[in-house]
Amino acid sequence: MTAFAYFSAKLRFETDVSDVHAALEAGPSFVLVDSRGDEAWGQGRIAGALHLPTGEIARRAAVLIPQGTPIVTYCWGPACNGATRAALEFARLGYPVREMIGGFEYWVREGLAVETDEGMRPGRPDPLTTVVAAVRCDC
């Protein structure tokens, strides 16, 4: 595989926090799936995400999400492969799917708002991991 083919494929199957946020603001053309367990979901989540733990995807996906609907999965963060396992399960079921790299951790680090059981919580960007004085990193 050439470097061009590898990186093209990578962008086809991955997206990042900034791009997901922009798409959600514009009116998403996908379903954002939080694949974490109940306690993690209760601690905080991305507003508008569908809570569907990985172990429940095979049983519940077809009831909740029409076949052919694009999916973006996320889990905790870069040190967790839960979003990858969830994406694999959706792919096995025939859904077009991408994984949000960085996961919930980088959503929080970029200072984006988080929904909790008590309501919305505004974010505060981490200046060690994202640009604080701009909307995006321009990468």
pLDDT score, position 125:
85
Is residue 9 a part of any domain in this protein?
no
Please give the Cα distance from 113 to 120 (Å, whole number).
7
Please give the Cα distance from 115 to 74 (Å, whole number).
15
pLDDT tops 90 at residue 112:
yes
CB 90 within 8 A of CB 52: no
Query: Which pTM was predicted?
Result: 0.92
Q: Which of 16-20, 97-101, 133-137 is the least confident region?
A: 133-137
What's the angle, vertex CA 69, arms to CA 75 and CA 45, rounded to 5?
25
| Strands ordered across the beta sheet of 97-101 | 14-16, 97-101, 71-74, 31-34, 50-51
What is the arithmetic mean of pLDDT over 37-43? Answer: 95
* Residue 19: band (very low, low, confident or very high) from pLDDT cuts 50, 70, 90: very high
Is residue 2 a part of any domain in this protein?
no
CATH of the domain at 26: 3.40.250.10
pLDDT tops 80 at residue 134:
no
Is residue 32 a part of any domain in this protein?
yes
